[in-house]
Amino acid sequence: MTKCFKTSLPQGAADGTLDCIIVHSVAFLHATNCILGRDLKRLDALISKATIGFRQAFRQHDGAVEYVSIIVQRHGREDNSSPGKLPAFLNSLRTFRHQPIPIQKQPTGWHDVNNDLYPDLVSITDFFYIQRNTILINENGTALTVDADNNFQRGFNGMGLAVGDLNGDEVHDFAQSSTLKLSWLLSSPFPKAASKSLWIEHALSVGLTLNEPVLGQFFGWGTELGDLDNDTDLDLTMNWGFWNDHPRGTFGNNGRNQTDAMWLSRDNGTLQNASEPWGMDDTRAARGLIVADVNRVGWLDVVKAILDGPTLVYLSRCGEENWLLMRGIDLTNKNPDGIGSKVRVTVGDQSWVRWVHSGSTSMFSGGPTTVHFGLGEHETVDRIDWMWPDGTTTTVTDVAANQNITARRLAP
């Protein structure tokens, strides 16, 4: 599908089936001057072209996709000129329901922010003055309602979205790229909100800053968290690149040389810019970003989608620190990868969590459904808890570091 911004799969129903949301724009284009009416008339054709990929995904999961929400925006306002028309074979699926949701078109992902086993929908927008960033709470799988009380970035032009537990409370925290601005949102308990949390901005206090006059960091794009140095803390990687020939620019070329960035987390919770020493200061026009262990050696690599060139793969040079790489296989339902699981690793009085995502982070990209833990000097872990989306937990103890582990649930 052209002009597609994000696709995300969660397990959103108690029967173990996968849901899917597709966020794309037909009318509001960044880099072309096409005619609005002509693009809207092509909507059905665009959707039809995408159904080949959908059909393959449905076959892999036995057709058990609960619903697909296709959102069309005209500069932040829902467009009803093609109301809910879907390809015939999709309508023929008995388990399929179409549920349009009026959200903006930037990264949107499923994250169980209130830990009630139902994935909530986190949506950010690059035009907050038209539509605010929001979290839609999943009401027991029956409806999505906006949580207006959690302070989730009401005045921020969001672009890329990174998700992880940054303060050790096992609640989702968020890092975001934007235009001339960065975000580091940490959760704080707030029972009055449906999310059960407030998200408070900490970018300046942790040292998350940019240098636009020197490095040309104007438009931020793909954003991801991962323990790149295997010291147990999550580090931040972010892409930058031009967005059409914007009049604001550096180096006298309309901002085409915008420098990518990377920050390492320190023990005190602050961030250290490590872009140059780690070779992550590329100036090509980058968009999508994935952080994953590409060659399965226990150290995270970085993959960048370049707008006007080949995809770049940065392979880690590795080190002496320890690690674990894990994946889930669930044969008890139609969610074989355990998407939506929470994984906790415990060493002594310390613990760290990761969530299994599918397309719910970064921007224009989606990585594997594995989870990675850097362990620093710890050669063994006391306990691993794999919490499946239905609340069932698989636990193992006394696990040696530096191995690839698979958590399995077998069919009865």
DSSP state string for 265-286: EPTTS-EEE-TTTTT----S-E
Percent of the chain with pLDDT over 90: 42
pLDDT at 227: 97
**Mean pLDDT on 250-272:** 80
Q: What percent of the chain has pLDDT over 70?
A: 68
Q: How far apart are CA 313 and CA 58, in angstroms?
A: 30
Is 143 or 280 the better-scoring residue by pLDDT?
A: 280
Across all residues in the chain, what is the average pLDDT?
75
The structure tokens 């349009």 sit at 100
Check pLDDT > 50 for residue 30. no
Instruction: Pick 3 or 329 by higher pLDDT.
Output: 329
| 397-400 long-range contacts, CB within 8 A, separation 24+ | 399/324
| Predicted local distance difference test score (pLDDT) of residue 380 | 98
Of 66-80, 193-207, 329-343, 397-411, the poorest mean pLDDT is in 66-80
Strand order in the sheet with 286-292: 286-292, 301-306, 312-314
* pLDDT reading at 229 higher than 80: yes
Burial class (CB in 10 A: 0-12, 13-18, 19+), 323: buried
CB count in 10 Å sphere of residue 62 = 12
Q: Which residues pair with 290 in a beta bridge?
A: 303
Please check whether residue 342 is in contact with residue 93, taking contact to mean a CB–CB distance below 8 angstroms: no
Burial of residue 63 (number of CB atoms within 10 Å: 0-12, 13-18, 19+) = middle
d(CA 101, CA 137): 13
One-letter amino acid for residue 44 of the chain: D
pLDDT: which is higher, 336 or 243:
336
Residues 281-305: tens digit of each pLDDT = 988 888 889 999 999 999 999 999 8
For 222, the enclosing helix (H) or strand (E) is strand 220-226
On whether the CB atoms of residues 40 and 79 are closer than 8 A, the answer is yes
pLDDT tens string 57-93:
333 333 333 333 333 333 333 333 333 333 333 333 3
- Determine the average pLDDT of the residues in 110-118: 92
Which of helix, strand or coil describes residue 203?
A: helix
User: Residue 97 pLDDT > 70, yes or no?
Assistant: no
Q: What is the DSSP pairing of strand 18-24 with strand 65-71?
A: parallel
pLDDT in tens, 324-379: 999 999 988 888 899 999 999 999 999 999 999 887 787 778 888 999 999 999 99
How do strand 286-292 and strand 271-273 relate by DSSP bridges? unpaired
pLDDT band at 276 (very low <50, low <70, confident <90, very high): very high
**Which position has the higher pLDDT, 215 or 182?**
182
Give residue 148's pLDDT band: very low, low, confident or very high (50, 70, 90): confident
| Mean pLDDT value of segment 210-239 | 87
3-state class (DSSP) for residue 90: helix
**pLDDT band with cut points at 50, 70 and 90 for residue 18:** low
Q: Is the pLDDT of residue 44 over 70?
A: no
- Give 191's contacts (C-beta < 8 A, 6+ positions apart): none
